[in-house]
Chain A
């Protein structure tokens, strides 16, 4: 009596595990985690999340990378845009209406240096961290109108500050 039941439970649990693994397959193949939506345009990401994001003229030379515009839906609505400039610097813009940005979009790094600064008159934090297996990056984070914005940049600090200033000034 027990053995058939155990076999049924084992097969059903095995099928559940296989389905879960199969569901993770596209994420593994594309690097897009489960629940993250790849958008074709920034307007699609803002419509999906209800967040506003306007890119300043300073970013006109930056081009979104393949599958670089991503979003997570409510209740943890957030969006991320990863771009390259012609010299190869990578800039990622993260925005969320929550106290933290969804980990599927934004991986916090352990900073080796942290400093409080001002961006367009708003308090901000500038952190420098080492990416595992990658170049050192700087995260510049500020909150405006209840929206958290983080810029992650692997280029010069002055360029990051210039972009952040222009972005912050576009916000109401």
Chain B
């Protein structure tokens, strides 16, 4: 079992490097496809190690490690600087880092989910938001999701629900944003609903829970969540035909989040992600050759072949 876990960590690192390099090379690809690459990078190493151990136990043979294998972590057992065995210590540190990354996001995720369930109150007269949701849903070709309005002094606008999706907004958001900005922000959340991103978020948290010890899977899953934001931004910009109100609403949300609260690490990361989204929206995609699903499938196949030759 420990061997499978260790191999999963090594596979995760390899997958993260491959996917990271490809995404750097293919910056102009659509967010949906980039999300596919990130999901592949997170899920393949989670499955590859146990499946290879089960289907191909011969990979653990010394003859395979010293022969066809591209990389065998067991070769590092010989390295013990100052008497410290490098391999087990490195793997333990990576597992510790993975667990910290998982807990760092799990706790706010569960807190957020429980808080949202407790305070949501459905209202029939959500005013300007209802109209914005209906227009965005029409633009995205979907049935408008339900709307829930919270009375809160903090501006909140998000998409919730696994199967029955709804847009949750706070009364403060109506005061914080201009009608154009509200339209854009709502279109963004409706785009999340159109892609069923809350369900994807839970799925990603499940993947992260299964690979809680794997830092690469944690980082790829986090990057996938960010990519869903980019995808929703692009979809919203497509519906509106303009990115300016969306960027403006993001800036306002950013400023509202800053409003006198202590600068915690999670807030810093969140602010950085928002700033990155504004930058991405303002930078026009200039891909001359866009990758497609076939390229994603080729990458997954190549990654599986590569990971087959990586053993612990």
Give residues in A with beta carbon < 8 Å to B. 1-5, 7-9, 11-12, 14-16, 18-20, 22-23, 25-27, 29-30, 32, 34-35, 37-38, 67, 73-75
Contacts and interface: CB of A to CB of B under 8 A. Distances in A.
Contacts of B72: 23
Nearest to B69: A23
Given A16-B309, A26-B76, 8 more contacts: A4-B26, A7-B22, A15-B18, A25-B76, A30-B79, A32-B78, A35-B66, A67-B78
Contact of A22 (B21, B71, B303): B71
6 contacts: A1-B292, A8-B22, A15-B306, A20-B70, A35-B66, A74-B63
Nearest to A17: B70
A8 B66 contact: no
A12 B140 CA distance: 36
Contact of A73 (B17, B66, B295): B66
B310 interface: yes
A17 B291 CA distance: 24
Nearest to B80: A30
Contact of B289 (A4, A26, A37, A74): A4
A3 B17 CA distance: 20
B302 interface: yes
Contacts of A14: 21
Interface in B41-94: 62-63, 66-67, 69-72, 75-76, 78-79
Interface in B220-237: none
A34 B14 contact: no
**Cβ-closest 6 pairs across A and B:** A35-B66, A4-B291, A19-B71, A12-B302, A19-B70, A23-B71
Contacts of B69: 23
B18 A11 contact: yes
B299 interface: yes
A2 B298 CA distance: 12
Contacts of A22: 71
Contacts of B78: 26, 30, 32, 38, 67
B284 interface: no
Nearest to B24: A11
A11 B66 contact: no
Given A19-B310, A73-B62, A8 B71 contact: no
